[in-house]
Amino acid sequence: MEPLKLIFLVTGAVTLLSALMVVTARKLVHAALWLVLTLAAVSVLFVLLNAPFLAVVQVVIYIGAIAILIIFAVMLTRRSMEDTGPQTSRRWWLAGLIAVVLFAAIVLLVVSHPAVSAALPGAVPPDSVQQLGLGLVSVNAYVLPFELASVLLLAALIGASFVARPPEAAAEGGEE
């Protein structure tokens, strides 16, 4: 067996198992930590697919920002952390059936897509990050969605600082 295949199999198993633990863990913080492991394993899959940029961005955004945000929120609400009730509802078999059918449908759709059976494109170009960057600023490609996303984020930033502002500071007119 090739080492890459072995690494892929191990990573796949870790991804699936930790994803399962996310939904079955009783403590919310544990679920969040299992989610971190799932996302880390997905980033390893990106590395195996020769997409280092996506892999690192996966770590920076999902582990560095989103997972830490989730854990922070969970940590601040200490009381409602442990789930003691039953973990399945009475209709769990129905939900399972629907999930299996949906999964089978997705697999069928993916397999029947022409891109799956098409030959692999050759080696990944060495300057794929540069091409990605050019795509984001080129008028013919994605400059409009990119700029719209930036404006949206800026609006969120302004909104957050407005919400976080204490009322007395607003009355004083922004004393340092």
Partner 1 sequence: MIGDPFAWVYEQLTALLLSLGMTAVWAQTTLRFLGAAVLATVLLVSTFFLIWGERKLLARLQDRLGPNRVGPWGMFQTVADFVKLIGKEIIVPTHADKAVYLLAPLLVVLSVIGIWAVVPLAPGVVGTDLEVGVLYIVGIGAVGTLGIMMAGWSSHNKYALIGAFRSVAQLVSYEVPMVLVLLVPVILASSMSLVGIVEAQAGMWFIVMAPVAALVYLITSIAENGRAPFDLLEGESEIVAGFNVEYSALAFGMFFVAEFLHSLTIGAVVATLFLGGWRGPGAEAYPLLGFIYFLLKTLAVWLVIVWIRGTLPRVRIDQMLGFNWKFLTPIALGILMLTALVDKLAAAAGWNRTLVLVLANGVALVVILGFVQGYARRQRRRDQAHPVSVEAAPAALL
Q: How far is CA 158 from CA 5, 121, 154, 165, in A?
A: 47, 44, 6, 11
Pairwise CA distance, residues 64 & 59, whole Å: 6
Nearer to partner 1, 15 or 36 (CB): 36
Choose, by CB under 8 A, the member of 25, 35, 39, 67 that binds partner 1: 67
17 belongs to the binding site for partner 1 (CB under 8 A): no
Question: Footprint of partner 1 on residues 44-63 (CB under 8 A)?
Answer: 52-53, 56-57, 59-60, 63
157 belongs to the binding site for partner 1 (CB under 8 A): no
HSE, side-chain direction, 13 A CA sphere, residue 160: 6
Choose, by CB under 8 A, the member of 8, 12, 30, 136 that binds partner 1: 30
Pairwise CA distance, residues 137 & 151, whole Å: 15
Bin 119: left if φ > 0, else alpha if -120 < ψ < 50, else beta.
beta
In whole angstroms, how close is the CB of 123 to partner 1 at the nearest point? Answer: 13
Contact present, 85 and 26 (Cβ < 8 Å) = no
Interface map 107-136 toward partner 1 (x if CB under 8 A): -------------------x-xxx------
Q: Contact residues for partner 1 (CB under 8 A)?
A: 2-3, 27, 29-30, 33, 36, 52-53, 56-57, 59-60, 63-65, 67-68, 71-72, 75, 126, 128-130, 176
